[in-house]
Amino acid sequence: MSRRVIITAGASGLGLAMARAFADAGDRVVVCDVDGAAVATLPKGIRGVQADVTDEAAMNAFLAGVEGDWGGADIVISNAGVGGPAGPIESLDFADWQRCISVNLDGAFLTCRWAARVMRAQGSGVILLTSSVSGLFGFPWRTPYVAAKWGIVGLTKALASELGPAGVRVNAICPGAVEGPRMDRVVAMEAAAQSRSEADVRAGFTEGVALRRFVTADEVAAMALFLASPGAASISGQAMAIDGHTERTT
């Protein structure tokens, strides 16, 4: 059966990998993304709407449009997040903190508030939220992102309790460093903040990881497919790492 799938920040990166995986499985997929150009070039079979997850009016309009077309949704993936600034907390700007918290948490709030209403009424549904290993450990130099991603885990746990009795499952996916342009940017930013070489910072990301490698976007998409499947019918309220097993963070 073709499920109705919504993914925020789905025009590139992990969101797009998940959108492709659900579309390939025969599901109907719509994404939102702040990047209108990326939305305009989405692959065939994936619908897109330009919307910033921190903009309540834009998100309400996006979600109302989906509700008008589909009557609800079976799987909602709150995936939008930005890495925020890197550096000791004394050096960070309040505005950068606020932007990082807003994209990660305001976006999740607006998305999940809608999903909770429609899924509670349906008596079924799956909500997935993209957290991070930064939502499981206390990485230094990344206080805004770490705080935001722990917030996503808290939201997941509270929502799983609120919605479980209505037959709705809620889980957080916690990826480690994912191969791709975003990690390239994070490595460059941390190298600058800590006056280290990019090669050194990159090596540092896998030193404390048992498998000694980054994960791939396709692996994260496969995990989302599983968590949305009947095989995961008893899994809710979990923050599940997909990280090659993080053993040390410094």
Ligand X SMILES: NC(=O)c1ccc[n+]([C@@H]2O[C@H](COP(=O)([O-])OP(=O)(O)OC[C@H]3O[C@@H](n4cnc5c(N)ncnc54)[C@H](O)[C@@H]3O)[C@@H](O)[C@H]2O)c1
In the shown chain, the binding pattern of residues 165 to 204 toward ligand X, with x for contact by CB under 6 A and - for none, equals ----------x-xx---xx---------------------
CB of residue 186 to ligand X, shortest distance in Å: 7
CA atoms of 219 and 243, how far apart (whole Å) = 10
Rule CB under 6 A: is residue 79 a binding residue for ligand X?
yes
Residues labelled catalytic: 145
Per-residue mark of binding to ligand X, 34-53 (x: CB under 6 A):
xx--x-------------xx
| 15 touching ligand X, by CB under 6 A | yes
115 binds ligand X (CB under 6 A): no
Choose between 34 and 86: whose C-beta lies nearer to ligand X: 34
Pick the stretch among 61-69, 80-88, 109-117, 193-201 that binds ligand X (CB under 6 A): 80-88
Q: Is 235 in the site for ligand X (CB under 6 A)?
A: no
Residues 155 and 112: beta-carbon distance below 8 Å: yes
Would you count residue 12 as binding ligand X (CB under 6 A)? yes
When the beta carbons of 73 and 148 are compared against ligand X, the nearer one is 148
Rounded to whole angstroms, the Cα distance separating 7 from 201 reads 31
Residue 96 CA neighbour count, 13 Å, CB half: 14
How far apart (Å, rounded) are the C-alpha atoms in residues 46 and 91?
41
Asked whether 210 and 7 are in contact (CB, 8 A), the reply is no
CA distances from 205 to 13, 66, 155, 245 (A): 19, 39, 27, 12
Residues found near ligand X in the complex (CB under 6 A) = 9, 11-15, 33-35, 38, 52-54, 79-82, 103, 130, 132, 175, 177-178, 182-183
